[in-house]
Amino acid sequence: MIVPLLLFLFFVWYPMGRNLVLAFQDGYEDASFVGFQNFVDIFEDSSFLSAFKNTFLYIGWSLLIGYLVPVLLGFLLSEVIHAKGLFRVILYLPCMISGMAVVFLFNSMYGDGSQDLFNVIITHLGFQAHPWKGSTDLVIPLIVLAMTWKGAGSTALIYLSSFQSIDDSMYEAARMDGASARQRFFRITIPALRGTLLTLFVLQIISVFQVFYEPLVIGPNGGPLNASMSLMLLSYLYAFNDFEYGKSAATALVLALIIIAFTALYYLLDRFLKKKEAQ
């Protein structure tokens, strides 16, 4: 029991404590205390402001694509009668691929050349080739699309297990009354899955705040013109490109505080809903 605890302290709590100290220093070794200067510097940095704004763009696109798609996939899978196991395997296959491999795969698909997949498709449809990842308006939706392809299958299976916990007699009664799949989805499924939807909604937001290697590769380095820069990536670039460890730690601390705030919001909403159901 003592050894796992020591390992946990060394690999989790010690780095967190070290980061907290660095956020108020001007360097890594022989550093001096500078108070909140690092926080002042990052909030005056245009790269940080871009990353902060982009974080909410990531959230918006992630909720539009990455949150809704697994819900629909899970529901459609619950409606399948034959070969349900095969469809489960097909959905889960992308989750078994390395995240970095998926990013490099989509990075090649988003290429500017006429032989890259997206441009091959649109040129066959009669349109001109487009610099996909070079577009400041498209780079974040494209990154979210890659993230969704990678993780939608596992989330869809979570929803599927929740769908299967719903009493089948409710669906049978709805089918006998002539309810369509859309009506069953909105009038039976959604109300029954309110708790699961809320939990995965908050977890989706928290995970998006930690986007790192996707804009690092596809951007690249948060490009073009910081259009895909994330707070996590910016913290990395501060430390390993600019060697400004204090600003890196301050950025990571701001990110941690935002995640803590969303976690607290989830906890309060969960308590509110449970209390409302108990009444």
Q: What is the pLDDT of residues 122-147, one digit of tens each?
A: 888 888 888 888 888 889 999 999 99
Res 231: pLDDT? 92
Question: Residue 120: CB partners within 8 Å, gap ≥ 6?
Answer: 114
Res 278: pLDDT? 67
Model confidence at 50, pLDDT cuts 50, 70, 90, reads: very high
Q: What is the pLDDT of residues 225-259, one digit of tens each?
A: 899 999 999 999 999 998 899 999 999 999 989 88
> 């022989």: which residue's tokens?
30
Provide the token pair at 150.
């990678």
* Rounded alpha-carbon distances, angstroms, from residue 154 to 65, 120, 212: 15, 30, 20
| Mean pLDDT score, 193-201 | 80
Model confidence at 277, pLDDT cuts 50, 70, 90, reads: low
Candidates 227, 233, 226; CA nearest to 210 is 233
Q: Mean pLDDT across the chain, nearest whole number?
A: 85
**Measured torsion, CA atoms of residues 268, 166, 205, 84, in degrees rounded to the nearest 10:** 160
**Rounded Cα gap, residues 65 and 59, in angstroms:** 10
* Rounded alpha-carbon distances, angstroms, from residue 246 to 25, 33, 172, 210: 6, 10, 61, 19
Model confidence at 49, pLDDT cuts 50, 70, 90, reads: very high
- Percent share of the chain, pLDDT over 70: 99
Model confidence at 279, pLDDT cuts 50, 70, 90, reads: low
39, pLDDT greater than 90: yes
